[in-house]
Structure 1
Amino acid sequence: MSGLPPLPPIDGDATGRSMIDLLDEEHEQLDRLCARAETEPAASDVLVATLARHLSAEEQYLYPAVSSVLPAGATIASRELAADAELLVALRRLHTNADRSSLRTVTEHVREHTHRTAGELFPALRSRCTEEQLVRLGNRVEIARSAAPTRPHPGTPSTPPLNKLVDPALGVVDKVMDALTRRTTWEEDL
């Protein structure tokens, strides 16, 4: 493998969706949710939850892959983690205030994030990773996303291995709080 973090061995071919395809699809969903949140207050909660899950999964798998396989990957991953930290702070403001100014700030961060990843990271990863590696990483992203927090937690670990331990624990707490408050966290439930 081309310097990627170790992935468990598999018997046969890897099946599933590419990490890049999954994250790219989520970027489109985040753009759509930013627009919906302008007119639908409930979409703001879904935006917060979707973005919190998305950032958690990227921090667990995308950035370590970037760091491992791209020239200057560690520098790029550090830049993205710093941008994510700013986004989590803005997301926390949106979660607690849900005002137009907070939504505009989050929307700007989301647009910058999707532009950078789609224009720079994804093409570079596609050229340096096999489709099987990207599918195996996609499988990990799906698992991480399902266990991830649904609320922003700035200041928690953003790199493996600690984020792979802390994020699922926070995810359990967040999901309990979501159930108790009947908070909508999935777009299909809007």
Structure 2
Amino acid sequence: MAGIAVSESDVDVVALLMRQHGDIRNLFDEVERSTGDDRRNAFRRLVRLLAVHETAEEEVIHPFTRTSVTGGEGVVEDRLTEERTAKETLAGLDGTDTDDPKFLSELLTLRTEVMAHARAEERYEFIHIRRTADPERLTSLAGAIKAAEAMAPTRPHPGTESAAKNMTLGPVAALVDRTRDAVRSAMGKDG
């Protein structure tokens, strides 16, 4: 494909997920330092990125880890426990006004949970995926991540931390979430 630049993160699942972890860190920073509508809009983007990112990992990465990485079952169970905790915190925070005095302290709790989870994924899951998968598999997993993200719910849904639950409940949740997002956007309440 002459003339079209393809970044490493477009073809390597580990690079893609690591870039997203960086995007998540940056959005936490943006939410923390902004105010008013800017904070609200940055938080909406953070909620959406966290929701689609985790759903895609649950549908694509964790099943691969379970079957392809030595000790993968335990690695995935630990990550799912972390994900559920963070989703529960995010779900509670999602209903909080970003101008509420408690918002920033609750956001800090979420950030701590999410960043600890990201570090654990990078250390116990991603490094082993890179060692286990050949370049073609890394590329196919990146494509699967992008497809899963395109269909993922845009809000946290604690209790759906498995590929099977995401496949069963995800499409309905995604439809509801994306409809809610469209209504919010049309009303000028979302950026």
- Normalised by the length of structure 2, the TM-score is 0.83
Q: Is the 8 A contact 1:48 1:151 kept in 2?
A: yes
Q: Deviations over 1:44-83 (max 9, x none)?
A: 1111111011110010011111111111100110110111
Say whether residues 1:34 and 2:37 are aligned partners: no
Q: Specify the code of the residue in structure 2 equivalent to 1:161.
A: A
Say whether residues 1:64 and 2:63 are aligned partners: yes
Q: Is the 8 A contact 1:53 1:150 kept in 2?
A: yes
Deviation at 1:176, TM superposition (A): 0.6
Correspondence 1:132-147 to 2 at 5 A = 132-147=136-151
Counterpart residue number, 2:52: 53
Q: Specify the code of the residue in structure 1 equivalent to 2:134.
A: T
Counterpart residue number, 1:172: 175
Q: Deviations over 1:150-183 (max 9, x none)?
A: 111112x322233123213211111111111115
- Report % sequence identity: 26
Deviation at 1:119, TM superposition (A): 2.2
Say whether residues 1:21 and 2:15 are aligned partners: yes
Q: How many residues align?
A: 169
Deviation at 1:110, TM superposition (A): 1.8
Counterpart residue number, 1:153: 157
Query: What SS does the aligned partner of 1:150 have?
Result: coil
Say whether residues 1:112 and 2:133 are aligned partners: no
Deviation at 1:37, TM superposition (A): 0.6
Counterpart residue number, 2:5: none
Say whether residues 1:126 and 2:130 are aligned partners: yes
Q: Deviations over 1:6-40 (max 9, x none)?
A: xxxxxxxxxx5221111111000000001111023
Say whether residues 1:95 and 2:94 are aligned partners: yes
- Following TM superposition, where does structure 1 have runs of at least 4 consecutive aligned residues deviating by more than 4 angstroms? none
CA distance in 1, matches of 2:66, 2:173: 25
Say whether residues 1:77 and 2:89 are aligned partners: no
Counterpart residue number, 1:187: none
Q: Is the 8 A contact 1:91 1:102 kept in 2?
A: no
* Gap runs ≥5 in structure 2: 1-9
CA distance in 1, matches of 2:117, 2:179: 29
CA distance in 2, matches of 1:90, 1:176: 23
- Normalised by the length of structure 1, the TM-score is 0.84
Query: What SS does the aligned partner of 1:75 have?
Result: helix
Q: Is the 8 A contact 2:24 2:49 kept in 1?
A: yes
Counterpart residue number, 2:85: 86
